[in-house]
Structure 1
Amino acid sequence: MQFLSRYFSRAGGVSENPGDTRYGDIHFYNEFIDLWKDGSYSTPRCASEYGVQSLPFGSTMRKHINASEWFYSSRQMANRQHHPGGLVTNLIMVFSHFPIPFQCSQKQGDARGVQNCEYVKTADFIDRFAYFSQAHQATTYKVQTEHYRRYRNLLAPSGEGNTMCALYWQLNDVWAAPTWSSIDIDLNWKMAHYEARRFMAPVIVVLYSVKDDIAVTVVNDLTSKIKKATLQVDMFAWTNGFQPIYTERKLIDAIDSLSAEAVDFNVLGEVSITRVEKVNDLTYSLTVNATSLSPYTWISVSKPFLGWFSDNAFTMTEPEKSVTLHLRKPVELTDKDFGVCNLRNCGVH
């Protein structure tokens, strides 16, 4: 019993409220709040399950359903939506952050009205929506996981904090459908899986809003201190290209190990792939260029492949970025097999 908390012992081994954020383990699902806001989340001892849905891209779905059924409210898509109310809540969540299609905006007005728009029932809508849904899922997982990680050794006056686990639901799909996973049925990484490599890195910088201010926490999960580091925060404006409009630097003497220290789319950059080089049978190197800031930059391959990119679903704050494609099995590719897009044009026909 020496390993059990006093609270657990007093409760006789079975808590009356196992989801108490001060002592217990929570599952967090709420589709009616701003999931991109740090303050929306609870601060438990452990968050062992949380998530939000996204759609696989059409290149996956069209292998598993009739191509004619690849639209949002089709019979097959509705049958594959096993989350009650998910057809509606996914629309509301996504279009609370991303622009409502112009075909719907004048008639329906806000995100809640999109469900009544006839354009949602067309094939043109769903490719763009699949991209938006993956970007929404990736950002949600990032904000929520970083919230839990920054509280790993912080304790609020309420008794909440010291959060020691964060497990999003779920890793991989067992079929082709709208799900909470970050890897689809064909083993393609969704945006959230690339984002997970960043928000689960051993050392991360977390930015979050506190009223009208921006706060910063550095999380260090290494087993050694980070000594004499410089923290730099750059603020960019969509209209100012790659040049920050404000920069703040702070010298940090040491960050203890295992600790946490406390849009108009027309202005987005155009992206292109300017170089593709075959390094060996299992590796391709490519260069991505952007004319200005490029959020949610997504690299795709037109041929089926089993593998992953060294980075993807990233924001470009510099004009050039090198990316490597790692393959599990050889696939012969040329520069014409690669594509790249961003928030400006992904999923637009």
Structure 2
Amino acid sequence: MFMKGSNWIPAHVLPEVVTPQYTRHLLQAAADTHQNCLRVWGGGIYETDAFYEIADELGILVWEDLMFACSMYPVNQDFLDTVKGEVVTQVRRMQHHPSILLWASNNENEAALRGNWYGTAFNFDQYKEDYVTLYVDTVRSQVLEEDPSHPFVVSSPSNGLQSELDGYVADHPYNTLYGDVHYYNYLGDAWVGSATPLTRFASEYGFQSWPSFISMAAVSLEEDWDRESPLMYHRQHHPLGQQQLALQIGLHMHLPPHDGSLKAYQDYLYLTQATVAVKVETEIYRRWMSDVTEAGEGYTSGALYWQLNDIWQGASWASIEYGGRWKMLHYYVKNFFNPVLISPHVKNGEIMVYIVNEQFHNITSANVVVALHRYDRLGVMKSVNLSVDVEAAASSQVATISLAEELGLNTHCQEGMYDVEDVCFIILQLYDGEGTLAAPQNFHLLGKPKDAHILHASVQIQDVSGPTVTPHSNWTFTLRVKTDAVALFVWLETEHPGVFSDNGFLMVKKEEQLFFHAAKEMTEEDLQSSLSVKSLTDTYPPGYASKTFAQHPGFHPNDIRNAMLS
């Protein structure tokens, strides 16, 4: 079973938002984006029975962590007695729920001990003995006494059974050949993902972003609307988080000027969300579901990104903001965790096209369409169409396509001194035998958006109609969005609660039809007056236009353009 999903819903969520209605909203958001497993930390007073009842109802499985994480803990008898009492109370309270998938003693403590995170190497044997006393002899034995019907893991990441053979503290808890792995890399090029571990199970990974300006404005003053303001650092609890966010933005896009303007602040918040890092990483894990390298890596059986929801308005790894507003990531989750996924891997001038089909039936006589697009014009330059049969419950490489020979990259993507990778990008689609989309449309940017030969896109909401009653909402509105140029990371926003049918998408046609599923009663005028839309080039300097200037050795055309605009 490939377990998809997001991740830990913190037990310390503020009590005023932990209502059955809010819990249902979060779990429904997980279910609507095809996530069937959540990792929950762990058994606290705010995790009411309503959470598990709703998870039972929606078919969401729960990986239940007990309240031990990222630290060394005491093992005196008084503390162990308290632990036993807590374990008995929580396991008896929750074990009857069919949503409970497994119990886990701790998060990252095996890795912390072996990796000397807290200076334990000077007396490793004693700390290891204490570790086994607490998590194995006490927690594990008590959980299994109360509930022998569910699996139990001592730690995560861990080598699983191999860790047990190693006395419960493996030499290398992050070994990709066993158990599960946590992976964070804030310094590499996450849009490429070449360093992503091909692990048996990816149980934690992710990247930070800030919430929307709508969410931040609720807890800030005008003087705070600057990415370097004291409030921004107060609400950034990850060491070096601001610097890492700036690095990731700068690797692929243009960091807004630090000029104190509201626009620069809003653009910064938007750009922290406009990232494909988690998308790329998740697709790698899913592509390796059915294959293994010569070194034995692969057969990845699960991917749990960190994290589902925010506990306040601040920088975090969450895909859902405090209060329930979806970030751009959560719209991507809806696509990359779809039961059927078309995913590219580009290497050495070739596109290897994978289809992940987690359905229990084959897809026969399907049609794969791989299309070459230019950034500076709407429409398809050239496409390749292939008929494929896709195996059930598997990831299959269905095609290898040459960028140069079959898609004509060097023919259609020449533009002055620009690299062809900065002129063109790829769109992938999968249709079933009846011509209906069988998977969400996917894209692959061959180069970095900041280097792209792209025009400024004027994206506008042409009209809004509704509401109508749909399975998603009693107040569903139809939106018509138009553009005059290719637009990257098109982002629609309204202060009204609800969810768009798609968001953060690439616009490669003049017009797209979208839907807004409102969470409460509202009128067409309410929505129309509150809507805003932006895309990547809206964050560029005024007067921006993509031009090829007189070239200078060692400079990219965009370097010259940016120097002239600065």
Per the TM superposition, whether the score is higher than 0.5 is yes
Q: Which amino acid aligns with 1:267?
A: L
Contact 2:283–2:343, Cα closer than 8 Å, also in 1: yes
Alpha-carbon offset, residue 298 of structure 1 = 0.9
The aligned runs of 1:105-120 (5 Å cut-off) are 119=258
For 2:515 and 2:539, the matched residues in 1 are separated by 21
Alpha-carbon offset, residue 266 of structure 1 = 5.0
Q: Which amino acid aligns with 1:248?
A: V
For 1:134 and 1:293, the matched residues in 2 are separated by 19
> What is the aligned counterpart of 2:502 among 311, 318, 322?
311
Contact 2:376–2:453, Cα closer than 8 Å, also in 1: no
The corresponding residue for 1:251 is 387
The corresponding residue for 2:217 is 62
Return closer, same or farther for 1:150/1:266 CA change in 2, 3 Å cut-off: closer
For 2:345 and 2:459, the matched residues in 1 are separated by 28
For 1:210 and 1:323, the matched residues in 2 are separated by 34
Q: Which SS does the other structure have where 1:45 is aligned?
A: coil
> What is the aligned counterpart of 1:125 among 261, 264, 268?
264
For 1:38 and 1:274, the matched residues in 2 are separated by 37
Contact 1:170–1:181, Cα closer than 8 Å, also in 2: yes
> What is the aligned counterpart of 2:243 among 88, 96, 106?
88
Return closer, same or farther for 1:5/1:168 CA change in 2, 3 Å cut-off: closer
Return closer, same or farther for 1:91/1:121 CA change in 2, 3 Å cut-off: farther
Q: Which SS does the other structure have where 2:264 is aligned?
A: helix
The corresponding residue for 1:270 is 458
Contact 1:73–1:121, Cα closer than 8 Å, also in 2: no
Q: Which amino acid aligns with 2:274?
A: A
Q: Which amino acid aligns with 2:203?
A: S
The corresponding residue for 1:142 is 279
Q: Which SS does the other structure have where 2:280 is aligned?
A: helix
Contact 2:375–2:454, Cα closer than 8 Å, also in 1: no
1:195 and 2:327 aligned: no
Alpha-carbon offset, residue 13 of structure 1 = 5.8
Q: Which SS does the other structure have where 1:344 is aligned?
A: helix
1:341 and 2:476 aligned: no
The corresponding residue for 1:327 is 518
Q: Which SS does the other structure have where 2:274 is aligned?
A: helix
Return closer, same or farther for 1:348/1:239 CA change in 2, 3 Å cut-off: closer
Contact 1:265–1:343, Cα closer than 8 Å, also in 2: no
Return closer, same or farther for 1:29/1:259 CA change in 2, 3 Å cut-off: same
The corresponding residue for 2:231 is 76
Return closer, same or farther for 1:248/1:268 CA change in 2, 3 Å cut-off: farther
The aligned runs of 1:272-291 (5 Å cut-off) are 272-280=460-468, 282-291=475-484
1:174 and 2:311 aligned: yes
Comparing 204-213 and 10-19, the one that deviates more: 10-19
Contact 1:128–1:348, Cα closer than 8 Å, also in 2: no
Contact 1:182–1:192, Cα closer than 8 Å, also in 2: yes
For 2:208 and 2:201, the matched residues in 1 are separated by 21
For 2:243 and 2:161, the matched residues in 1 are separated by 44
Contact 1:226–1:257, Cα closer than 8 Å, also in 2: yes
Q: Which SS does the other structure have where 1:267 is aligned?
A: coil
Q: Which amino acid aligns with 1:340?
A: V
1:14-38 CA distances to partner (integer Å, 9 max, x unpaired)?
A: 5332221011211111111000013
Q: Which SS does the other structure have where 1:193 is aligned?
A: helix
Q: Which amino acid aligns with 1:88?
A: Q
Contact 1:45–1:163, Cα closer than 8 Å, also in 2: yes
1:143-197 CA distances to partner (integer Å, 9 max, x unpaired)?
A: 0000000000111101000001111110110000011101111211110000110
The corresponding residue for 2:439 is none
Contact 2:467–2:523, Cα closer than 8 Å, also in 1: no
Gaps of 5+ in 1: 104-118
Alpha-carbon offset, residue 51 of structure 1 = 0.8
The corresponding residue for 2:435 is none
Q: Which SS does the other structure have where 1:49 is aligned?
A: strand
Comparing 149-158 and 14-23, the one that deviates more: 14-23
> What is the aligned counterpart of 2:493 among 294, 297, 300?
300
Q: Which SS does the other structure have where 2:324 is aligned?
A: coil
For 2:263 and 2:465, the matched residues in 1 are separated by 33
Q: Which SS does the other structure have where 2:536 is aligned?
A: coil
RMSD of the alignment, in Å?
Answer: 2.2
Q: Which SS does the other structure have where 1:209 is aligned?
A: strand
Alpha-carbon offset, residue 124 of structure 1 = 3.8
Return closer, same or farther for 1:186/1:99 CA change in 2, 3 Å cut-off: same
The aligned runs of 1:202-281 (5 Å cut-off) are 202-242=339-379, 244-252=380-388, 254-262=389-397, 263-264=451-452, 266-280=454-468
Q: Aligned residues, how many?
A: 325
Contact 2:464–2:524, Cα closer than 8 Å, also in 1: no
1:307-330 CA distances to partner (integer Å, 9 max, x unpaired)?
A: 101111111122221111111211
Contact 2:184–2:207, Cα closer than 8 Å, also in 1: yes
Alpha-carbon offset, residue 337 of structure 1 = 2.2
Identity across the alignment (%): 29
For 1:7 and 1:178, the matched residues in 2 are separated by 36
1:232-253 CA distances to partner (integer Å, 9 max, x unpaired)?
A: 10010112322x222112221x
Alpha-carbon offset, residue 291 of structure 1 = 1.8
Alpha-carbon offset, residue 79 of structure 1 = 0.8
1:207-247 CA distances to partner (integer Å, 9 max, x unpaired)?
A: 122233322111111111111111110010112322x2221
Comparing 263-272 and 291-300, the one that deviates more: 263-272
For 2:535 and 2:299, the matched residues in 1 are separated by 37
1:83-110 CA distances to partner (integer Å, 9 max, x unpaired)?
A: 0011111101111100244x5xxxxxxx
For 1:347 and 1:248, the matched residues in 2 are separated by 33
Q: Which SS does the other structure have where 2:194 is aligned?
A: helix
Larger RCO, structures 1/2 (Cα 8 Å, 6+ apart): 1
Alpha-carbon offset, residue 7 of structure 1 = 4.5
Return closer, same or farther for 1:86/1:97 CA change in 2, 3 Å cut-off: same
Q: Which SS does the other structure have where 2:243 is aligned?
A: helix
